[in-house]
Each structure stands twice: as C-alpha cells, then as structure tokens.
Amino acid sequence: MSELHETAGIIEAWAARKGILTYAALSSRPEPESPPPSEEVLRSLEGDQPRVGPSLLPQDERIFDVVDHCALVEILKKIRITVIGLRRPNEIVLCHLNAVPRKRMRDLPQRTVNGIKLEFFKSAEPIAQPPSINDPRSAASARMVRGHYPCGSSISLATERETGTLGCLMRNRHGTLLGLTANHVTGRCSTADHAMPVIAPGHADIVPGNLDPFTLGHHYGTTEWKAGTVNNVTVSENLDGAAFTIAKPESVTSMQGDLYDTPAEIVTNPEGGMTVEKVGRSTGHTTGFVYFNVFRNIAVRFKIKGYEDTVHFEDMIAIVGSPVAFADRGDSGALVVTSGESPRRAVGILVAVTPDDTLAYVMPMDRVLSFFGCTLESGHNI
C-alpha cells in the first residue's frame, strides 16, 4: 500500500470520527483483516507524539499542516466531505458539498504534515436519474449513420420510460453480439425480464420528426449490486452494467456517433490528467480529463421509477469536462475513451453525474467486460 493510500485512509478515518463525511466510511469500524498504516507513515504524521492504539492517530489534528485545528474541524463540518480522491503520485482531492466562505479559505490546509498535497473541490453528490418522457422539449436527436444505428445513441427498455445511452458493442465467448449500457438504463435495476425488448431511440426521444422506434435487441443480463452502506453490505463486487443481445447485427455499427470507432483495447489504470472523450445521448460528443480515482468507494443515489436507493461502488473514476460539462442525465451507459492518442483505448462506462455539472463518474471497463466475459467489438459496420 502506498503512502498516498495510507494517508487517505487516515484522513477518512479521522473525518468519519469527526462527523465530516456525507457517507459511511469503512474505516470507521475495526478492520482486523487490513494491516494498520506503516510505522513510517504514522511517524511522519505524528512527529514525536506518543501513539495510543495500533492504527489510528491519537492527536487527529496532526494530520494536517495548519495552525488552527479547531477552525479546520469547524469549517469541514459545514462544507461536508462527499468523496476522497487520489491523484498520483502525491495529491489527495477532498470533494465537499457546500461552498467555503471566502473569509474561511485560509483555514483550509494545502498539505498534510507528511507532504501530501490537498485540493478542496466543491461538487454535489453523484446521482443516477435518467430522463423520461415527461418533457418532450428535452428530446435528443436520433439518427442512423450510413444506414446503421451508432453507439452513443438513445435507448430504453421497452417497458420503461427511462432513457440512456448505448455505450458500445461487445462479443461474448460464444460469438454473440451484445449491446452494453448501464443497469439502471435497460436492466431496470436488475429486475428486467429476460428477453424484454430494448428499443431505439429511447422513450424520451420518441417524438415527431425523430427516428421511428425499432427493436434494437433483447435484455440479456445485468451486473449485480447491493444497496446499503459499506458497514452493512459487501460493496466490492457492485457494478452498474446491462447487456442485451443485438436483434439484427446488420442494423448497428460500432461507431461512436459519426466520429470514431469503438476501441478494441482498454485502459486498466487510468491516471489523473488523462484526456478523455465520449459520445452520449444527451450531451453528444464531449471532452475532458480524469480528475481523480475515487479512494475506496463512492455513494451514488439512484432515483428511478420504482427504485430509489443509495449504492456504493469501488474503483470509480471522476471526470471533469473541458470546456463544458462532460455529461448529463441520459448519458448513462456512454463509453468513455482516451483522446489525444492513437489508437484510442476504452476507459469505462458512465454511471452517474453531479447535478451541478462538475463531475461525471465512470466505472472501469475491465471490470464490466470481465463480469460478462466479453471483448469489445470494433470495426463493426464502419
């Protein structure tokens, strides 16, 4: 375990005990299976102070390089930490829910006492809430590309109003061509009936003048998740993905819109600063960069007809859009890929956005493909 990870864990444990987090931290309960922070990290954080207990600091205030520790706790309790992020090699991002008053900015530390840089970033809590047919004015355009329906376009489960994005095509070990999106788009949060039709465009985009709806495929299966806090359920296997068989392979293309083909390769360890792009149902083609990798887990609120709950996910990737917001409701399921390199590589599937348009959260591609036992389909009808 790196010093960066160890320091983030100590900060999270401290923040949990102080009531600063908006989520339940795993570190707030005993973890006998996990080793305590190394002596080197503890010494660098504690200085010459005596230590009580095997894994937690006795003097919490010595984590941060600040003078007024009471003022720091006061302001952090007001702004609330929603996510802790890691930017290798030496930076921790603390996302907070509420704005910091200008006169209190000086109370925020710029680094820990062992030299880890700190960045405070205001961002709302992530939410997954696809649009439905309630507002026809928000309908997205849907069209064929050279006679084929492209990835990055609108889809829905036939029985549900919620609309999201066809992320990509993939092929299983039996050679079956599948479409991939988010579980909360066509999987009905793991309750969709087997072989239920998936239509394109999705219900929110069935309006006069748009592409007439057709059956794109049939529901095949979903990844699994368990709702609840990390202290009550095991969240390490939680994923948000859904697959459906393609009814007519000749009707679809692996092109992302009309811009570029779905990559055949994936990124296994995306780093902060990596430039990315995506094509989605709501915001179309957007660009941005990896802001940070989520430390441990993040809580995502699902607000869908018939299902409202909070689910925690590990290994998530936070994306910042540049020059505009990276994603919006309805882009769920979109494939995020690297940009500025040739060939492109797949980063992951978009799962949630923040209502203030600051961040989009992406699930790693390797975990989703591994669950379904599939490989990405590239060069299909391009």
**Phi and psi angles of residue 299, each rounded to the nearest 5 degrees, phi first:** -95, 125
Report the SS3 class of residue 116. Answer: coil
Phi-psi region of 353 (alpha: psi -120 to 50; beta: other; left: phi over 0): beta
Judgement on whether residues 34 and 92 belong to the same structural domain of the protein: yes
Per-residue confidence (pLDDT) for residue 34, from 0 to 100: 45
Please check whether residue 381 lies inside any domain of the structure. no
**CA separation for the pair 72, 369 (Å, rounded):** 43
**Exposed/middle/buried for 80, CB within 10 Å: 0-12, 13-18, 19+?**
middle
Angle between helices 3-18 and 39-46 (to 10 degrees): 60
**Residues 247, 289 within the same domain:** no
Which of 140, 159, 61, 39 minimizes the C-alpha distance to 107? 61
Question: How does pLDDT run across 158-180, given as a tens digit for each residue?
Answer: 999 999 999 999 999 999 999 99
Cα separation, 254 vs 260, in Å, equals 9
In a domain, 127, yes or no: no
142 shares its domain with 235: yes
For the purposes of burial, counting CB atoms within 10 Å of the CB of 36, is it exposed (0-12), middle (13-18) or buried (19 or more)? Answer: middle
Residue numbers of the domain that contains 289: 263-376
Q: Which amino acid is at 258?
A: D
Q: Is residue 201 part of a domain?
A: yes
Degrees (nearest 5) of the Cα angle 179, 181, 185? 125
- Let me know whether 176 and 280 are in one domain: no
Residue 382: inside a domain: no
- pLDDT tens-digit map of 46-62: 554 433 333 333 445 57
CA quadruple 292, 297, 303, 304: dihedral, nearest 10? 100
210 and 184 part of one domain: yes
- Asked whether residue 290 falls in the same domain as residue 340, the answer is yes
Q: What is the maximum span of the chain, computed from C-alpha positions, in angstroms?
A: 73
Facing residues of 318 across strands? 292, 361
Cβ proximity of 218 and 186 under 8 Å: no
pLDDT tens-digit profile, the chain (382 residues) = 699 999 999 999 999 999 999 988 874 443 444 455 566 655 555 554 433 333 333 445 578 988 788 889 999 999 999 999 999 899 999 999 999 998 888 889 999 999 999 999 999 999 999 887 755 657 888 999 999 999 999 999 999 999 999 999 999 999 999 999 999 999 999 999 999 999 999 999 999 999 999 999 999 999 999 999 898 999 999 999 999 999 999 999 999 999 999 999 999 989 999 999 999 999 999 999 999 999 999 999 999 888 999 999 999 999 999 999 999 999 999 999 999 899 999 999 999 999 999 999 999 999 999 999 999 999 999 9
Residues 244 and 284 in one domain: no
Structural domain contains residue 10: yes
Please give the helix or strand (H or E) that residue 308 lies within, else none.
strand 307-314
DSSP 8-class letter at 362: E
Query: Residue 62: what are its φ and ψ, rounded to 5°?
Result: -80, 5
Note whether 222 and 276 are same-domain residues.
Answer: no
Within-domain flag for 177: yes
Choose the final residue of a domain: 256, 274, 295.
Answer: 256
Kindly state whether residues 365 and 287 are assigned to the same domain.
Answer: yes
Q: Is residue 279 part of a domain?
A: yes
> Of 256, 288, 312, at which residue does a domain stop?
256
Whether 229 is in a domain gets the answer: yes
117 and 10 assigned to the same domain: yes
| Residue that terminates a domain, selected from 88, 122, 156 | 122
**What's the CA gap between 120 and 104, in Å, rounded?**
13
**Considering its fold, how many domains does the chain have in total?**
3
In this structure, what token pair is assigned to residue 158?
Answer: 């036939």
Residues 201, 270, single domain; the answer is no
Q: Which stretch of DSSP H or E encloses residue 9? A: helix 3-18
- R_g of the chain computed on alpha carbons: 22
71 & 105 share domain? yes
The CA distance from 1 to 98, in Å, is 31
